[in-house]
Amino acid sequence: MSELLLQGGRVLDKAGDRLADVLIDDEGRIAEIGKGLKGKETLDVQGKIVSSGFVDLNAYLGGPEDQLSETIISGTESAVKGGYTAVVAISRNPVVADNASSVKALIELSEEALCETIVSGSATLHNDAGTMSPLGEISDAGVKLFSASGPPLTDFETTRRIMEYSQKYDITLLYSCSNSYLSPKGVMNEGAVSSQLGIPGIPAVAEEIEVFQLSQLALLTGANLHFQQISTAKSIEIINEAKSNGASITCEVSPHHISLDESFITSFDARYKVLPPLRSKQEIASVKELITSVDAIATGHSPCQDHLKQQAFADAPFGTTGLEAALGASIMHLDIPLKEILRLMSWSPAEIAGIAETHGGDLVPGRPANLAVFDPEATWVVKGDQAASKCSVTAFEDIELKGLVSHTLVNGKLVVIDGVVQDHGR
Amino acid sequence: MTENHIRGIDDLGKSGIEEILALSDHFHEVSTRRIPKVPALRGKTIALLFYEDSTRTRLSFETASKRLSADSLNFSIGSSSVKKGESLRDTIETISAMGVDAIVVRHGSAGVPWMLPRWTDAAVINAGDGSHEHPTQALLDCYTIRKNLGELNGKRIAIVGDIKHSRVARSNVKAFLALGASVTLVGPKTLMPFNTDDWGVETTDQFDSVIGDSDVLYMLRMQLERQQKSFVPSLREYAKEYGLSDSRAQSMKPESLIMHPGPMNRGVEVSSNIKEHPKSVVNNQVANGVIIRMSALYYLLGAGSITKLEGFNDE
């Protein structure tokens, strides 16, 4: 690797916003930030923002048991194309990470990744809430984030034990509050649209009840919790109250939940079938008002085989891709300063994922050059067939977004140039 | 490629409904002939694609196709073939490749008729999608009411029972309102849709409060398994609160109708002999089903206009 100069961009990090060149040394570290720098190779990034790369807390990248929805390679190609330099890989059936050897297999697979991939474990056996998995063994393999949900979450005693036991290993439990006990057949938000379409609904209160239950257990036990894909304003209020009472809780919101509402489902296209479901316009407006108290934007990137998403709405699996659209959806739909968007997409999730030493935060000499270069004003229209993800069916199809990544650097290496993922010899 | 479909009542609007009802008067005349068959759709092919069990609706469409001299292809696809893994898309593309002009589809999931035009140029008729719509049922109900009461405009219609899970109710509400009737939905809150604010209807859980004022009592079929899921505590209690008993029928207006989309649970939503009650037009509904489906097929595949019914002569 030779020296690389990012010339003429606007550097934006926690310290603020300034016009400056960024020099990256031949070991892939930031050497210097300032004006009028010189380097062997120069990349013109005038008019663009240079920031720390984004960190996704919630993406499914396949695994040994599932290479059809996504692979570690296609998934991280999608990630770097979206400006991500680190991704937390979440397990989803049939991929389970409930024992040390499964986790080690996932970690081994992740060596092929184009960006840093943080393997998460499952806090319960078979991704099911019934029995605790060997947290200590898995944690010894280097895992610090554990998915702890699994339908149905009614076994409060096991949940409490997991929260208590987890603390020895200083791990964070990830909860997706999409329990189905209030609406076993529900596939979309319950409201005027579901009533009209005759489609079984999932009430917002189902999520809110679960968020309340878990946040009270967090207060009782002192465990570290992170709530995935919060989709209602009331959930955020419940979390904020628990935080102010001392709970160690963080939460994320997904780009599609702030940009797409339930009315898209009148087309009956299963690309809009996600869990938690797309909410009402009013709910989205209320969530956006509370966005500054949210800790992260995380994609919930959940690719499915294309043909499965072409089934009838009730029959298709839940999930949409999100890694490539996240920045554009956030800038387009959140009326907050760019700095705040970077907090949500990079700085704060880097801390939650425990990688703040190398990702997010301040751009200062000596740090690995994990960087995103993007035009915050560029508008573009999403076309799923141009995605790097294996899954071309996305809820963002034909949606106009604002903010486009042109370059991504992982440890100083340009993995995306002018929006194109570079050939990485695989 | 046609943009003409009957997937839901909104595909027709008031003018489309009126046109199909007017066509039905002509096809009613055809049905009284010695040989009730016309060559109006000779050479057209109609696929009947039923993902859900159906006897009366499928037979009704099949009879209608034959009376119009169209060729019909019968695909009865049980849930097993979905389990075998053939996707909806593959099935539709296969049928489409055989060269069909219209696909009549019934499916357990809402919205399937709206997906079909992505994969076929054929006209689509919805024969029932999940709990969403069943437009030809609504058309035949409108036709039956018009035949018996003269018009729908200004009439008060109560739809009674499991509205939440009823595609018949959703299509009928739209069609009845389009033709100027007012609609009250009657049932316990457990069987009501969560939110009907935009429907333009009244709702009540007091059946007895609407009986004397209604021109039509439209009784919905009660799915017997609803009791197991606690939508109602018992079928006996449901029958007591929402069943059309002989004594309730006594308090109906003189010129009023009892309707039911069938098949009936005698002793649950209606007492055992209601079908034979003088106000009952349930048998009319079935007979009109064939006529309406002839009209619907002709509306999509024929000349379309009632003024020049090509191929409309007796064979």
Cα of A183 to nearest chain B Cα, Å: 12
Whether B112 and B149 share a structural domain: no
Q: Do B132 and A198 touch (CB under 8 A)?
A: yes
What is the Cβ-side half-sphere exposure of residue B138, based on CA atoms within 13 angstroms? 34
* Domain membership flag for residue A14: no
Give the number of domains in chain A: 1
Task: Look at residue A315 and give its three-state secondary structure.
Answer: coil
Q: Say if residue B52 is in the same domain as residue B128.
A: yes
Terminal alpha carbon distance of chain B: 30
Pairing mode of beta strands A172-176, A224-228: parallel
Is residue B75 located within the same domain as residue B104?
yes
For residues B221-247, give the mean pLDDT: 90
* Chain A residues lying within 8 Å of B185, measured CB to CB: none
Asked if A267 has any chain B CB less than 8 Å from its own CB, the reply is yes
Q: Are residues B149 and B261 in the same domain?
A: yes
Residue A313: inside a domain: yes
How high is the mean pLDDT of chain B?
92
- Residue pLDDT, tens place only, A356-365: 999 998 999 9
Q: Taking CB atoms and an 8 Å limit, are B107 and A310 in contact across chains?
A: no
Distance CA A390, CA A77 (A): 10
Q: DSSP secondary-structure letter at A278?
A: P
Please give the model's pTM, rounded to 2 decimal places. 0.94
Q: B146 and B261 share a domain?
A: yes
For position A76, which CATH number holds?
3.20.20.140
pLDDT tens digit sequence for A60-78 = 999 888 999 999 999 999 9
In a domain, B307, yes or no: no
- Residues near A420 by beta carbon (within 8 Å), at least 6 away in sequence: none
Q: Classify residue A137: in a domain, yes or no.
A: yes
DSSP element (H, E) containing A88: strand A84-89
Range of the domain at A156: 53-363
Same domain, B154 and B209: yes
**Do B18 and B70 sit in the same domain of this protein?**
yes
Does residue A332 form part of some domain?
yes
A190 touches chain B (CB under 8 A): yes
Residues of A in contact with B194 (CB under 8 A): 190-191, 194-195, 201, 203
Residues of chain B found within 8 Å of residue A194, distances taken between Cβ atoms: 194
Q: What token pair was written down for A283?
A: 């709910």
Q: Is the pLDDT of residue B1 over 80?
A: no
B30 and B98 both lie in a single domain: yes
Q: Is there a domain that residue A154 lies in?
A: yes
What's the complex ipTM?
0.92
> Is A18 a member of any domain?
no
> Given this model, what pLDDT does residue B147 score?
97
User: B265 with B166, same domain?
Assistant: yes
* Three-state DSSP string of B131-163: CCECHHHHHHHHHHHHHHHCCCCCCEEEEECCC
pLDDT tens-digit series, residues B62-75: 999 999 999 999 98
Going by pLDDT thresholds of 50, 70 and 90, the confidence category of residue B78 is low
Range of the domain at B205: 135-282
Query: Using the beta-carbon criterion (under 8 Å), do A307 and B114 form an inter-chain contact?
Result: no
B198 touches chain A (CB under 8 A): yes
pLDDT band at B309 (very low <50, low <70, confident <90, very high): low
Tell me, yes or no, whether B207 and B276 share the same domain.
yes
Residues 172-191, chain B, touching A (beta carbon < 8 A): none
Interface residue A68 vs chain B (CB under 8 A): no
Q: How far is CA B220 from CA A367, B18, B158, B267, B270, in A?
A: 69, 24, 10, 13, 9
Q: How many domains does chain B have?
A: 2
Q: What is the tens place of the pLDDT at every residue in A155-179?
A: 788 899 999 999 999 999 999 998 8
Report DSSP state, residue A346.
I
A345 lies in some domain: yes
Question: Is B310 part of any domain?
Answer: no
CATH of the domain at B43: 3.40.50.1370
Shared domain check, B271 and B241: yes
pLDDT, residue B306, reads 47
For residue A187, being part of any structural domain is answered with yes
Give chain A's end-to-end CA distance (angstroms, integer).
Answer: 19
Task: Note whether B234 and B290 are same-domain residues.
Answer: no
